[in-house]
Chains A and B, each alone.
Chain A
Amino acid sequence: MNSDENNWIKACLEGDTASFRMLVNTYRHLAYTLAVRITKNTEDAEEVTQDAFLKAYTSLAGFKGESKFSTWFYKIVLNLAMSKVRRRKPGHQNIDELNLQTAADSESKQKTERTYYVEKAIGSLPDDEAAIVTLYYMEDQSLDEISKVVELTVTNTKVKLFRARKKMAEMLQRELKEDLYSIL
């Protein structure tokens, strides 16, 4: 855990709520991304992310610093997102119908299209594999840390990551064809 985070957490525990805003600013995009990948719905993802921050705030005293704050926090996000999906009524909005607001919004149409297919491919994965892929490509998340978030062994996490990437590669090959090879 970096020293800034450590100081913010300490300040929060001493009653300085403003320090928690720093943690919110640092993790909101990553938490939201993870929530979008699991719920496949931006509204639900926003609600899950906010709930996760509130839960993190109320349980902060229980964070002992045995893992990174991000690992502890992503676990909260993942649990809330999974339980949101479980409680969902049939006929929810699918990711295909979403107007995806991604980092690529302002970039070229081609890149936006690629992003769309990547999201579609991730959306087709089971929840745990989608979470593993998302976390793997996030900054600073090692396989060891991911395995703690998804509560699997490192070996199982590795196997699921392999399966997920294989499925995605096959799907993207079909959707993007030669485009996939020409990206490099």
Chain B
Amino acid sequence: MGIQIDLKKCVSCMACEMACGYHRDEGFALLSSCIMVTRGREKKDYSAVVLKEEENLVIARPEGVEVRKLGSTGKSDQDKGREDASAKPLLLREPCDLCSDRKDGPLCLQFCPVNAISLG
């Protein structure tokens, strides 16, 4: 079970990012969110939603979803996905915990105004 993002529906409003930031910091900020709306290609209207999970970085782009292993080790491409047992967590953007302490479930999903986020 994890967060699924439908980028075709997404309108880049950042409500998910702010909701996640609130979940982490109990205030409004974007520094700790594990879901991020990328906004750096404004003139090209190119945007993605990035989700940090326990083991993966999920990058939902308009053309498809890429899943990248986090905390991996190894110099070669084949090794890239190998677990690095000694990687220490960064404790900045904590991986998505599906807002497990909230009875209504993930806040990002509840605050998405266009239902682009679902659990699947």
B and A form one assembly: no
